[in-house]
Amino acid sequence: MNNTDPVAGYQAYDQPQPQPPGHGRPGRDQATSRRIALSVCTIADVAAGFLGLWIVLYLLDANQGNPFVEFVHGMADWLSGWAQDIFTMDTEGLRVVLNYGLPAVIYLLIGHGIAARLNRA
């Protein structure tokens, strides 16, 4: 009797676990890649959403003292900090649209591009 199982009917930890046909590493990697792609897409969409929402609130002359407006403005400033004052226009509304709109478009392009690349892998 040469049984190395710690308990009858159970496999030891160092032995490979049997995989059902059609299941294995490639499917798991593909599912993980799709989840990561969805996460990247969602983050890019949320970032662009905050920037777009701030543009709309600014153009509609929202109350700057409102906590929600302050939060959206703070998030938009943080997300577009690298692009502030790229455009210096005399018209304030156009300046806001360009300085916050450009980062929104870049986040969408990069985020969805990365997600497409992950989905192809």
pLDDT (tens digit per residue) in 40-91: 999 999 999 999 999 999 999 999 999 999 999 999 999 999 888 888 888 8
Residue bearing the bigger pLDDT, 88 or 109: 109
Distance between CA 82 and CA 30 in Å, rounded? Answer: 34
The pair of three-digit structure tokens given for residue 106, joined into one six-digit string? 């870049």
For the whole model, what pTM was predicted? 0.72
Between the alpha carbon of residue 3 and those of residues 9, 14, 22, 25, 84, the distances in Å are: 10, 15, 30, 29, 70
Angle, helices 67-79 vs 25-59, to 10°: value is: 120
Question: For all residues of the chain together, what is the average pLDDT?
Answer: 83
